[in-house]
């Protein structure tokens, strides 16, 4: 397995938020993490990315514990798109995307011709040419999210970890992002771990789903396993009428 956790427990200041998480992913697979607000999705993502030290258990990336990697090694293997709002001074979208190349540029951060080509290729892939040369701070939240997604792709990572990457996007760009992720997984062998509120969209593209509720793992498995026999209703504490409304909104039939 390319990525796995073994009896992982995560939290802050010694207080567990989610316990005993054991999952595994092959290269090129997509895992979506779902669950109510406050169930531990963000804490889990920060812990597996190395930003937050787990309380117990292990995170293993390509056969090595994540703590065994140097920071510069991880920056070439893992790209992060988290919920932290970036504040920039006079940077354009393109300049922010170019930051994704810094793991490859050396200490002075000078982009080579190959780096510039990588930036152009990502801008073309994500369809951000019309906003790339505008001031980042002038962009809408959805446009900023597309730029930050492009920056993550510019790292050419093996693993992308994203926290609610589609929160600010309209349905067109949600679907475009999912198409891009599926392409990267299928053609480039990129592995994706992301938390989503768009439960059923995630179910459509994910190889596996991991659901958290009340300080524990509620369910883990394929979409058909996790969506089986009223589990989603129980996960979010919604009745059958509300579930039918939500389901029809994502055109599952």
Instruction: Give residue-wise pLDDT tens across range 55-80.
Output: 999 999 999 999 999 999 999 999 99
The answer as to whether 225 is a domain residue is: yes
Locate all alpha helices (DSSP H) within the chain, ordered by sequence.
Answer: 41-48, 71-77, 93-98, 102-105, 113-126, 141-154, 171-188, 199-205, 223-226, 231-236, 240-249
Instruction: Report the CATH number at residue 178.
Output: 3.40.50.300
249 confidence band (pLDDT: 50, 70, 90): very low
Q: How many other C-beta atoms are found inside a 10 Å radius of the C-beta of residue 134?
A: 15
Distance separating alpha carbons of residues 40 and 216, to the nearest angstrom: 9
Q: How far apart are the first and last CA of the chain?
A: 33
The answer to whether 191 and 185 are in contact (CB under 8 A) is yes
The answer as to whether 220 is a domain residue is: yes
Which tokens is 164 given? 């609610």
Lowest mean pLDDT among 63-67, 106-110, 207-211, 240-244: 240-244
* Dihedrals phi, psi of 147, to nearest 5 degrees: -65, -45
Is the pLDDT reported for residue 242 higher than 70? no
The C-alpha angle 6, 7, 12, rounded to 5 degrees, equals 115
The answer as to whether 253 is a domain residue is: no
What tens digit of pLDDT does each residue of 179-238 get? 999 999 999 999 999 999 888 888 889 999 999 998 789 999 998 888 876 778 888 888
Which tokens is 72 given? 């510069």
Is the pLDDT reported for residue 253 higher than 70? no
Give the model's pLDDT for residue 246.
52
The answer as to whether 42 is a domain residue is: yes
Give 207 or 248, the one with higher predicted confidence.
207
What tens digit of pLDDT does each residue of 11-53 get? 988 889 999 999 999 999 999 999 999 999 999 999 999 999 9
Give 98 or 224, the one with higher predicted confidence.
98
The answer as to whether 130 is a domain residue is: no
Give the model's pLDDT for residue 203.
85
Q: Which domain holds residue 52?
A: 3-89+157-240
Residue-averaged pLDDT of the chain: 90
The answer as to whether 46 is a domain residue is: yes
The answer as to whether 250 is a domain residue is: no
Distance separating alpha carbons of residues 43 and 48, to the nearest angstrom: 9
Q: What is the domain count for the chain?
A: 1
244 confidence band (pLDDT: 50, 70, 90): low
For residue 132, give every residue at least 6 positions away whose Cβ sits within 8 Å of its Cβ, in sequence order, or none: 92, 93, 94, 97, 123, 147
Give the model's pLDDT for residue 185.
97
Average pLDDT (124-143) is: 96
Is the pLDDT reported for residue 7 higher than 90? yes
The answer as to whether 81 is a domain residue is: yes
């Amino acid at each position: 397995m390319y990525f796995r956790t073994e009896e992982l427990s995560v939290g802050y200041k010694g207080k567990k938020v989610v316990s005993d998480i054991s999952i595994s992913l092959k290269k090129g697979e997509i895992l979506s993490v779902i669950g109510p607000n406050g169930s531990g999705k963000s804490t889990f993502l920060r812990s597996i990315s190395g930003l937050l030290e787990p309380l117990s258990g292990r995170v293993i990336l390509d056969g090595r514990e994540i703590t065994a990697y140097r920071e510069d090694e991880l920056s070439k293997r893992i790209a992060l798109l988290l919920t932290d709002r970036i504040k920039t001074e006079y940077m354009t979208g393109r300049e922010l995307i170019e930051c994704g190349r810094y793991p490859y540029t050396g200490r002075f951060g000078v982009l080579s011709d190959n780096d510039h080509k990588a930036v152009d290729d990502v801008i073309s892939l994500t369809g951000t040419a019309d906003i790339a040369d505008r001031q980042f701070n002038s962009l809408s939240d959805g446009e900023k999210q597309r730029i930050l997604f492009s920056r993550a792709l510019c790292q050419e990572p093996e693993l992308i970890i994203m926290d609610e990457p589609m929160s600010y996007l309209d349905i067109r760009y949600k679907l475009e992002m999912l198409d891009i992720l599926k392409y990267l997984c299928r053609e480039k062998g990129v592995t994706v771990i992301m938390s989503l509120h768009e439960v059923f969209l995630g179910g459509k593209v994910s190889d596996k789903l991991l659901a958290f509720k009340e300080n524990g793992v509620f369910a883990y498995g394929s979409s058909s396993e996790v969506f089986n026999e009223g589990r989603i209703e129980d996960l979010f504490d919604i009745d059958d009428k509300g579930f039918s409304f939500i389901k029809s909104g994502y055109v599952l039939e």
